[in-house]
Every structure is written in C-alpha cells, then in structure tokens.
Structure 1
Amino acid sequence: MRKYWSIIVATLTCALLSINTWATDNAVILLYHHVSKTTPRLTSVSPETFRQHMQYLADNHSVLPLKQVIEALQNNHPLPDKTVVITFDDGYDNIYDNAHPILKEFAFPYTIFVNPPLIGEVNYQLNWQQVKRMAKENVSFANHGKQHSHMLTKEAGESQQEWLDRTMQDIDDAEKILQQHLGYSLKYFAYPYGEFDDQLKRRLRAQGYVGFAQHSGAIASYSDFAALPRYPAAGVYSNIQTLEVKLNSLAMPVSDVYMKDPKVMPPFHNQVVTFNVKTDDLSPQQINCFQNGQVLDKSLSKNTISIKINSITQPGRHRVNCTAPSMQKKGRYYWYSQPFFMATAEGNWLD
C-alpha cells in the first residue's frame, strides 16, 4: 500500500509542477511615457487612470523590480504568479511630479529608461537631482541612448558596418554617463520607438546588454532577451478592461522563429512567418494571429505554425499578435508578437 501511495504522490507532484511552471516562469512588463493630462494623448495616461492601474496591480499582482525579474528568468528561478514590472521611457519630468508620488504610495519599484545627455538639459526632462532622489526611493534607471532618435537611420554615405559601430558607441556612451552619475550599470537598453533590426539586436546581445522593445507579450526564460516585449499602457491601451487581459497573459513558448528581419523594405508582399510552439497548456490548433484586427491565414504541421502576413505598404511600425487560451487557467492567454518596421521611400523613419 505504501508503494502505491508513493506512486500517487509522485504523480500528483509532477502534475502540479507541470501546471505551475507556466505561471512561475512568466512576467509582464508595462510601458508608460507620460502621466499627465497636457501631453500627447497617444503616449499619455492621466494621473487618475494611472492610479486606477496601480490599484488593480496592488489587488491582483506582484510588482517586482525589473532587475530581480530579469535575473530570475535568466537563471530559471521561479517568480510569483502574475508578476508585473513597471517601466517608463524618456525620463519626462511629469513622472516625478505625477507618477512617482502614486508609486511611492503603493511602494512599487519601477524603472525609467532615459537619454542621459538630456537629463537636466531639456526643460521637460528630469534633472540629476531628481534622478538621484528617486534612485533612493525604489527607482532604477537604465539606458535609452544618448538622444531619442531613430536608431535605424543611416547618415549620408554610411555603410552598414559604420552605422552599426556608431549606434553601439552611442549606447555604450550613454551607459557610461549613467554609471558615472548613479554608480551602477544595469546594461539594460530600451530601443527608442521600439525599433531595431536583426544586426543591432545580435550586436546588443553580444556586448552583454538586455534589450527592451515595444511590441506586445509576456516574457519567460525562453524569451529573446535582446528584444523583450512590453505592453504599452497609455493612450488607447489604457482601458483597464483590455489591459487586464494583457496583465494576465502568458509568454507563448515559441522557438525556431523564421523571419528574416523586422526591418522590412517595400514592397512587402507574400511573406510568411514560421515558428514552433510546444506546451501541455495550449493547443496549437487554437492559436490565432491578427494584423490590424484581421485574422491571418495559418497552416499547422504538428507544432509548427506558419502565418501569411498581409501586405505592408505604409511606412511606420507594424505588428502581428498571436494568442491562444490556456487550457488549465480559464481567462488567461498565451501571447506572441512579431514587430515590423518600414521606412519611407526616402529612408526616413516616422515618429
């Protein structure tokens, strides 16, 4: 009888581990810019709505520092279920005026990605005195480049290698300034406008940086740490009902992605993205992929998904989002996003 009980306990333990792995190897990163009523609506959330977001997080999630979450996932250490990280891009002074008091009230840690040469030099940016005060109050600061520019832009006559070297030098210079002022270097870099190409991403990884982008999705130990997704939470994305679905999302276990480069050139027609997905908690047959709200055609061969991308003709930032419901946790969805970036015919990048 004791033998049979041992078998039953071992079986139940394996089952519980299987059920919990997807929840503890998972986190969601939120992205904000402005917390203000007077800044561009596309990248802004009002202080009242921001407080609503924070109250929801306090009631339903574990908010942890970015560094703790990244290191846990990189080292396969478990996280609390429904872990969330709060980040800001650009270092606007309204973060200090409007967001920081609310975040202090909730005792939430957060990270701001800044352009160090702009700190204290532009009237709508934080100054170094504010930065150092915030650094003592649960706030970390990370790299957003020297200037908030489109990093995929080449200078006149510049070769691909020259562009790549210049761009990485820009990132390294910004990191050194941060270290000089704050005494630490996280080597976390957020791509301005979320834009990157395959070469920049590979170079960033090779030089020991973790990269953060602006496409959608949760993160896990198997995510691409050179271009981690973050959910925008301002403007049209600030509605708490739709944000709730994203906050409860799970990183889709995607591997072997076949996509030449997120930087695409016109004409972009008849392109296919292929990836593998495998987990006991989702059915590949239930994966649906969307582009501009339209369901994309897909084909399935065992665990390999192929999706046909609609033509992209307009310059700007585009993305395809793929989701599938969790079989074991009702109301939670696996999420995978593939961004695309297209310049104008003249080679310029749109704000």
Structure 2
Amino acid sequence: MAQSAAAAGQDSAVVLLYHHVSEDTPASTSVTPEQFKTHMTWLAENYKVMPLQDITEALKNKQTLPENAVAVTFDDGYRNILENGHPVMQSLKLPYTVFINPDEIGRLKNQLSWDDVKAMHKDGVDFANHTLDHLHMLDRHQDESKEAWLERVWQNVEEAEKKLTAQTGESLKYLAYPFGEYNKTLADKLAKEGYTGFGQHSGGISSYSDFTALPRFPAAGRFANMAPLKVKIASLGMPVTHNDIDNPERTARVIDETLSFTTNSDDVGLPRAACYYQGESLPVNINGKTLSYTLNTVLPVGRSRINCTAPSNSQNGRYYWFSQPFFISGEDGTYPD
C-alpha cells in the first residue's frame, strides 16, 4: 500500500550529528558554544526533540511520530560536550545520545571520564556504542580472510557494548559506525545480532529506512549555518522500497552505471527530483515511482555519496531526502581518516 501524504510527516524524523562544541577544536567537526545554543534554542521552539531510542523504536514498529520529530546525537565523547553542550541541553530539557569509544574514555584530557559519563547518564543522557577505539571497521589486515575480519571487528563491538553496560547499566545495542563506514556483511551482522546502526550520510529516516545504517545530518563545521540546516531538519525520510545498491563498499573505483531506487508514496514529487554527486548534478530519469540516476566517474579512496531530493507534494518547503554512500579502500585494504 502506498504511503499517504498525511502519513508522511508522522513516519519521518531527522537525526542530527555533532562532535565538538568548542571554539578550539577542528573547524570541520565543531560548532561554537554560541552556534550550538542557537541551534538547540531554535529546535526547542519549533520541533519536538525526542530521545533517539523513542524515535527509532517507533519507526521500527510503524508507530506514528510527531510531525516534527528530531533526535540529537554526538560522536566520540569529547569533554567539551559536557562543558559546553550539556548545560544547554539541560536548561532546555532536551534529550540526547552520545556514541562513545570505551577504550578512549578518560585516556586524554579532552575526553570524558567514566565519572563524567555516569553523571551525565544520571541526568538522562543516553550513551551508545562507537566501537572500543574508533577503528576503521572496513580495514583489512594483510592476508586477512573475510571471516577473520568480521570476527575481529565484531569482537570489538561486543567488547565495547559490555564495557558500556558495565559503566552505565544500559545496553541500547546502537552502533554508530566510525567514519560512517560499513558494508553489507557488517550491516547483516548488526541485524542478526539485534543492533541498530547509524551512519554519517545524510537524510531523514522513516519506517522504510535501513535500520542497520540510518542517516544523520551533520550540523557542525560548514553545515552549521542555520538557513540550510533548517531545510535539512524539515526533511522527510524517503520511503524507499527498492534500491539497486545493496552494498556501499565497492572494489572498483571506476563507475559508469545507471542505478535506481523505488519509492512508495504519492507525496514524493519525483518529477521535480534532483540528484547530486560531489556537488555536481546527475542525469535522472523518472518512471512511475522509480528514479534512475547515471553516475560516470572515478570514486575517491575513502568516502563519497550521492544525495537525491524530491519535494513533498503536500507540504510546502519540505523535501524527501535519499543518500547513497560509497566506500573504497586504498590498495593496501585500509581507509584514510
């Protein structure tokens, strides 16, 4: 059954991704304390900021959400989250989730300590898995088999979850992939073990989303500007029922393919859709509820992605958003930071 326009807003949410709240950290992953306060104050006044767990579980179970549901997340567990972000969230009574690396906690001065984590958790902050030590999960050791690789990285995930549970008394079984990197084998393992996965590609989420790789909008660095961020926060999860790409990790850098995805909503304005790769517009073709795009390029080593948007037919100013990441290792089987 096709998704109705009325249901679209109640079957969508946006997850925001932050790292640092500081003026003295890398600009690409930072918002200043003033920027963060501006973001959160605007969200508190205009959106329903909900716990990440409430949003994901509602969508998994096809339960309705408020039409303006948003979750706030941080990666890496930096101390400036506590110093500059936590007071803002507490004053506005906004929930949030921090994905941390247990083996990094308390190791450096710029990291949260376990005492910090416990105090924040007591204040209502959720903590979730970002692997033990922020490894590149797709890196292969020399002569390492696929089976040995999966066993190694999954042992890392399980050990991180055990340490999180021991310190907080809570196991969400949520994993944010370091650097947003994952492949089909890893995603399938998450599903088998009952985990929900979060990437670093963009887009809204819906009940049609892949719950082993949910997108999050970065809101720091060059993405911190409020005008474009407001448009992204208003995004709707693209109701994709079929995607030609089932594995974002590729072995060949050269790609010359026409790929497609199919939607399940009369509200998606596909005739007005646009797709972009590295800022360049791609040729698209629409056939009913299927959008095809042609990509002819050399993919870079590391991470890249295609973004496709289509306006809502019923909600002016809101766009359905679909993001397809690609991951390519170097010749030695490893990934750059």
Q: Same fold (TM over 0.5)?
A: yes
Q: Name 1:51's counterpart in structure 2.
A: 37
Q: Name 1:227's counterpart in structure 2.
A: 213
Pick from 134, 138, 142: which aligns with 2:120? Answer: 134
Pick from 326, 330, 333: which aligns with 1:344? Answer: 330
Q: Is the 8 A contact 2:253 2:300 kept in 1?
A: no
Paired residues for 1:75-86 under 5 Å: 75-86=61-72
1:301 aligns with 2:287: yes
1:328 aligns with 2:314: yes
Cα distance in 2 for residues equivalent to 1:41 and 1:264: 30
Q: Name 2:144's counterpart in structure 1.
A: 158
User: Which is higher, the Rg of structure 1 or of structure 2?
Assistant: 1
Q: Name 1:317's counterpart in structure 2.
A: 303
Shift of 1:296: 0.7
Paired residues for 1:1-351 under 5 Å: 18-351=4-337
Cα distance in 2 for residues equivalent to 1:18 and 1:346: 48
SS at match of 1:185: coil
Q: Is the 8 A contact 1:272 1:307 kept in 2?
A: yes
Query: Which stretches of structure 1, 4 residues or more, deviate above 6 A after TM superposition?
Result: none
Cα distance in 1 for residues equivalent to 2:173 and 2:140: 24
Q: Is the 8 A contact 1:296 1:310 kept in 2?
A: no
Cα distance in 1 for residues equivalent to 2:290 and 2:269: 12
TM (norm. structure 1) is: 0.93
Aligned-pair RMSD on alpha carbons? 1.3
* Segment of structure 1 superposing worse, 120-129 or 297-306: 297-306
The Cα offsets for residues 209-235 of structure 1, whole Å up to 9 and x where unpaired, read as 000000000011111000000000000
SS at match of 1:320: strand
Cα distance in 2 for residues equivalent to 1:188 and 1:260: 21
The Cα offsets for residues 96-145 of structure 1, whole Å up to 9 and x where unpaired, read as 11100111111100000000121122222100111011001120000000
Give ranges in structure 1 of 5+ residues lacking alignment: 1-16
SS at match of 2:331: coil
Cα distance in 2 for residues equivalent to 1:78 and 1:236: 33
SS at match of 1:174: helix
Shift of 1:19: 3.7
Cα distance in 2 for residues equivalent to 1:303 and 1:80: 26
SS at match of 2:111: coil
Letter matched to residue 38 of structure 2: Q
* Segment of structure 1 superposing worse, 309-318 or 234-243: 309-318
Higher RCO (C-alpha 8 Å, min separation 6):
2
TM (norm. structure 2) is: 0.97
Q: Percent identity?
A: 46
* Segment of structure 1 superposing worse, 146-155 or 18-27: 18-27
The Cα offsets for residues 135-190 of structure 1, whole Å up to 9 and x where unpaired, read as 01120000000111111011122101110111111101100111111111100000
Cα distance in 1 for residues equivalent to 2:290 and 2:52: 32
Letter matched to residue 242 of structure 2: D
Cα distance in 2 for residues equivalent to 1:308 and 1:265: 19
Q: Is the 8 A contact 2:140 2:334 kept in 1?
A: no
